[in-house]
Each structure stands twice: as structure tokens, then as C-alpha cells.
Chain A
Amino acid sequence: MSENINYLTTIGLEVHVQLKTKTKIFCGCSVDSESEPNTNVCPVCLGYPGALPALNETVVKYGIMTGLMIGSKINRYSKFDRKSYFYPDMSKNFQTSQFDLPICEGGSIDIELEDGTRKSIGITRIHLEENAAKNFHLVKMSGVDFNRAGTPLIEVVTEPEIESPEEAYAFLQAIRQIVVYTGVSDCNLELGQLRCDVNCSVRPEGQVKLGERTEMKNLNTFKGIYNALQYEIERQKDVLRSGGTVSQETRRWDPDAGITTVMRTKEDAHDYRYLPEPDLMPMVFDDEYLEELRSSLPELPAKRRERFVVAYSLPAYDAGVLVAEKPIADYFEAAAKLSKNPKLVSNYMMTEMLRILSETEKDISEVTMTPEALAKLSNLVDAKTINSNTAKKVFDILFNEGGDPEKIVNENGWAQVSDTGAIEGFVDEAIAANPKSVEDYKAGKVAAIKFLVGQVMRFSKGKANPQLAESLLLEKLQ
């Protein structure tokens, strides 16, 4: 009966991001996630009674930096609270987190969908908290590794403004790019450095009040979150279509079966009973400190992309590829600023640099070629001193050995010959050596000219200006 009803979807995310510190949030144990179990532990992160937490100042700094990047209000007075829960991965029986005075409130993150649609997603808050230990579920028992206990997290909570799995996916990409750009997290998904709790509800179009929502906890891949949402939204619509009601509950996403199942109903919902953390002093931030952090922030990737399009006349797509990773964007920009032709620099970054980096599994920080050298190379091409084939050869040498492009070109005698007299000689040679192609061309086979240009290049050992060679050939064969 109600098959034609349109349903609206509302999604809110709670994104937990592990911060890039050397030590845990409240003790000096390493955050290394690849150590043997229970080797990076001490009385604080094991939750021994009487052990006192000591707050890592870098965690506070990174939390604020993230907030400043997305336009949050930084609470001048912020404190920690104890969130009670009883579970083997939290041996103190409470998680040290923030309740009513989180470090940041408000702000927004801009997303862009694949079809180019743009949207701004409001942020409710960002708070600091400690990670729980890691549980291993065995057949008849469970095991707990406390290496992860106390690793520093920020939790970013969105407003319920995400309206589709696609938007959720774009949001996750955007937030990941921002924290990586800011240098506060590596966001390595394989190492579980970004995990997400997902709330979603559906309601018939026209209804103002949001539908009853369900929550899915601890999702750790973007694709998983996307798939879980797609399933859960359809499930809720089916419930409503068949006249049922969605109940507020926590559901578990089973990626193998591709379904969600009930984990906990509202009656069993956690009652966290927050209370102020007496062992940690409040944090108070003044203008000077916030200004100092603000001035250390990088440009937002989305802003940088727009600037690249305007300042360096790049297509939006190219600019998007270049800004995706900050070190790549920094390298490009350093070269582009010195180049007479930034578009050429962009081309070499996109076609050569990124390809070779991925083939050699290298990081741009390991590349011997300097941005100055790339700029010079682009200038040599721009001035037609070398042609694009020679430029590729020079690029390979620069990538593998470094050096000065002009010197490489001179030492190898690779400067392009643009002297008409000299090229004429090669053109005559090519015509004399290939009478068949000349005949073909004259008989109307236009493609033969390309072959002849190739021959000119061969006789000139690759140094002839190919455009000039072609126009001379055309002239002579008329």
C-alpha cells in the first residue's frame, strides 16, 4: 500500500581517530601497534588502582589543531570525565574521556560527491579520550592485549546531516585527508587508526521528526561503513513499508554475510554515569596559545585545490590528484613556483612522478630529484630546448641520480635542434632513404608523414624539433 512512499535517510557519525604521538595519552608507554602483546604497558594503562594519569601535551595540541582546521570553537576551559563501563578491555571500569566540556565544539567539513555535488557537514564536537585495550575472541575464552589501552584518540561527532551512504563515504575521505594533512594522524585503516560508530534512521518524506535510529559500532573500513549503511537503510525501509516500527538498538555489521543483526536493545543500553575525572587538572587555553597553533596550520586540502586551479591554471581533476597527499602537493608547489609553465610541472607530476613512485613503492620524501630540478626541466621543455621524449629521459636520470637538468642535457648533447638548416639536412636524408613512404604520402596516405617525422628524429638522434621537422617535410613534399 505504501510502496510509493519516498524515504529520507539521516546519518550521524562518530569518528575515532588515533593521534600520531610517540606515547600514550596518560603515560609514557609506546603506541607501537606491532609489538608483542602486553609489552607496552605500565600501571597507568593497565588500570592499576592508585596509578595517576599524566596528560600528554601533544594530544591536547593535536586535538585543538584539528578543531581549528575545521572551524570549531575551542573551549577555553576544558576537562576530562570518567565514563563508566564494565568490560575487560577497560580494566579501570571507566574510560577517561570528555563529557560536558569537550576540547572543541562546532565547525564543519566540506565534502564533494563523485558527481561534483558539494555539501558542508556540521560537526557537533571533538573530544579527547583514551583507547580501550584490544580483545581477542577465542573459542571458549577471550584474551586481552593492553598495548592499545591508552593510545590517544579524538572522537569527532557529526550533526545528523549526512543523507546517504555516498555522503558518509565522502565525509570519511574528507576527514581522513584533513587529519593527515594537519599531521595529527596517519589514519592507517589497516592498523585501526580510524574507527567509526554509525547512527542512521529513515523517515517518510514530509515527516519532520527523525525516525527511530539504530547504531552500528566499531566499523573500520570505508567500504564496510558504506555497505553497512546501504544494508541498514534498506532494512529500515522494509520494516516501515511492511507496517512495522524500527526499534532503537545497537546492531552488529557482519561483513561476510553482508547483513546487520541485533546486538543490544534499548533496554540494555549503556548507562555511562559520567563523573568528573579528579586525577586530571582542567585545561585552560589563552589567545596566545591558540594563535600560535593557528599560525602553524596548513591550508585545507579543498581550499588548496581551488587555489591550484586558479594560480597554476590546472584542470580541477589534476589539482585534486596533486593535493590528495600533502607531501606531493608541497613538492608540486615548490616546483610550480619556479617554473615558467606550471601546467608542464603538473603533467610531469601526474604522468611520470606518481607513476614511478607507485612502481618503485617510494615515498616522495625519498626522491633525490629536487623540485628546483623539476622546475628547470619544465623550463627547458617550455623554451623548446629539449623535446618531450628527451625530457622523459632527463626525468628518469633526475629521479634515479638527481643532478642538474641543464648539465645533463649539455653533457649528453640532447639539446633540441631547432635550426632550420640543420633539420633540413635530416629531412632530405629521411626523404632519400624512404621513397616508398614518400610515394604513399603523395598518393594520399597522410599517416606516412608520421613515419617520415620518426625517420628525421632517428637521423637527428632524437634532437630535432619534431614540429619543425614535420612542417619542413610537408613543405618539401608538396
Chain B
Amino acid sequence: MSEEKHNGIDVAYVANLARMSLTEYEIEKFQSQLDQIVGYVEKIGELDLDGVEPSSRMRSLNNVYRKDELRDSLSHDKAMANAPEELNGLFKVPKIVE
């Protein structure tokens, strides 16, 4: 599958980046679904946006800050409650290979 055929999303490549293992069947299925979704969103490109400033937000809210003040953290038990496995207080994960 070439980059041009779909709308710039190469499912196999992105799946690899996301450490997801997909079957050939899934890759094809998701590729066509994503192409549809992206194609749908691309309708926006038909709008005449001359004179409209690019923006990544709906609201013009700036400088929303918090004071550098301590707040309670979770208890250790609560923090670890969803951990599939724990070891010496750490979240135990499969061996990380860099």
C-alpha cells in the first residue's frame, strides 16, 4: 500500500509506533475505515476560510495557572490498586528493552 492511496495514515506503520500488533486482516480493515473517517473530515477543506486566523482552540482563554502549592497525593495502596503486578512498590512491567 502506498502513502498516496490512503489519506496519509499508514496503519501498519502507526500500529508499530504504538506497539500494537495487528493481523493483515485488521490492517486492511482499519485502513479502509480510517480512510473513510479522514475523507469525511476533509470536507472541512471545502470551506472558504480566507481571512480566518488559524487556531487550535475554541476559546480564547490564556494563562491558566496553578500556584506552586503542595496537594495531597494518592496513598501508595490506592496508587497501586490498578497495577496488574507490583514489585517493591514499583509497577512491574515486562522487561524494557531500549
Contact = CB atoms under 8 A, between A and B. Distances in A.
Nearest to A36: B89
The 10 closest A-B pairs by CB, nearest first: A28-B71, A143-B90, A57-B65, A37-B89, A58-B68, A54-B66, A276-B56, A142-B96, A284-B62, A144-B91
Please classify the interface of chain B as helix (H, G, I), strand (E, B), loop, or mixed, using the class held by over half of its residues.
loop
Contacts, number: 122
B65 A60 contact: yes
A135 B79 CA distance: 17
B70 A22 contact: yes
Contacts of A263: 98
A278 B56 contact: yes
B92 interface: yes
B92 to A, nearest CB: 6
Contacts of A23: 68-71
A276 B56 CA distance: 7
A22 B69 contact: yes
Interface in A93-121: 93
Interface string B36-71: 000000000000000000001100011111111111
Nearest to B91: A144
B79 A41 contact: yes
B90 A30 contact: no
A56 B68 contact: yes
Contact of B90 (A28, A38, A40, A140): A38
Nearest to A134: B90
Interface string B19-51: 100000000000000000000000000000000
Contact of B73 (A39, A276, A283): A39
Interface in A275-292: 276, 278, 280-284
Contacts of A86: 17-19
A39 B72 CA distance: 10
A144 B73 contact: no
Given A27-B71, A137-B96, A284-B62, A278 B57 contact: yes
A42 B93 contact: no
Contact of A41 (B57, B67, B74): B74
Interface string A188-221: 0000000000000000000000000000000000
A304 interface: no
Given A39-B79, A88-B91, A283-B63, 13 more contacts: A28-B72, A29-B73, A39-B73, A54-B66, A60-B65, A86-B19, A141-B87, A141-B93, A141-B94, A142-B96, A143-B88, A144-B91, A282-B62
B5 interface: no
B12 to A, nearest CB: 13
22 contacts: A23-B68, A29-B71, A30-B70, A37-B90, A38-B76, A38-B90, A39-B76, A46-B79, A55-B64, A55-B66, A58-B68, A86-B19, A136-B90, A137-B96, A141-B87, A143-B90, A252-B98, A273-B17, A276-B56, A281-B62, A281-B64, A284-B63
Contact of B66 (A28, A79, A282): A28
Nearest to A145: B90
B89 A281 contact: no
B73 to A, nearest CB: 5
A191 B32 CA distance: 49
A326 to B, nearest CB: 21
Contacts of B94: 141-142
Contact of A56 (B66, B79, B80): B66
B10 to A, nearest CB: 11
A37 B86 CA distance: 11
A143 B93 contact: yes
B64 to A, nearest CB: 4
Contacts of B93: 88, 141-144
Contacts of A432: none
Contacts of B90: 37-38, 136, 143-145
A359 interface: no
A57 B61 contact: no
A55 B65 contact: yes
B3 to A, nearest CB: 14
Most chain B CB within a 10 A radius of its CB, from A23, A27, A38, A271:
A38
A281 B80 CA distance: 31
A164 interface: no
A227 interface: no
A283 B89 CA distance: 37
A308 B91 CA distance: 53
Nearest to A39: B76
A256 B71 CA distance: 41
A395 interface: no
